[in-house]
Amino acid sequence: MKRMSPYKHHTSPQSPEVGFAMRLGRASHSLPTFNDVVKRNDIFQHYLSQLSNELFNKYYIAKLASRDCIVSRISVTLHEIDALEKMKDFLVESQKQEKEQLAAASEELELFVKEAKALQQQCHIQGMMWCTRMTEDERSEDEKDDSQL
């Protein structure tokens, strides 16, 4: 059973060489390869020699336009690669800065933990009464500040 596809497959226009090779009696419906065209090169050259000068010039202009189109696609691809490389450089530098920020935040956290442990040990050494008094004094200062507002 043939698998259904939501999109039609559009074939690109054939070059005159391929179209001519197709008309030479190939039985299959597949496109000929470059080797098929080369094998029948003498027939194709004979075909080109039968064209009028005007038609031959139009064929030449069409081949030049085709080549220019390929060069243009190559150029676009190179620009896309360049843009991706620059974006990669940006992301790498951004990651370095974020790692530096992480290291600084980790150091600050370690200092905070050390200070908290030191304060906790100091409370145990001087007794819980002193710590309780200290927190009550802090609360009363906060209440004074609130009443002033």
Which tokens go with 97?
A: 């800065």
Nearest CA to 22 out of 40, 4, 3, 2 is that of 40
Instruction: Evaluate if pTM is beyond 0.75.
Output: no
Say what the pLDDT of residue 27 is: 44
> What is the rounded CA–CA span in Å between residue 135 and residue 14?
87
* Cβ 142 vs Cβ 135: under 8 Å: no
> What is the rounded CA–CA span in Å between residue 139 and residue 149?
16
Say what the pLDDT of residue 28 is: 47
The per-residue pLDDT string of the chain (149 residues; one tens digit each, 9 = 90 and over) reads 455 555 555 555 566 666 655 555 544 445 556 676 677 777 777 777 888 889 888 888 988 998 999 999 999 999 999 999 999 999 999 999 999 999 999 999 999 999 888 888 877 766 655 555 555 666 666 666 666 65
* Cβ 14 vs Cβ 31: under 8 Å: yes
* Cβ 44 vs Cβ 37: under 8 Å: yes
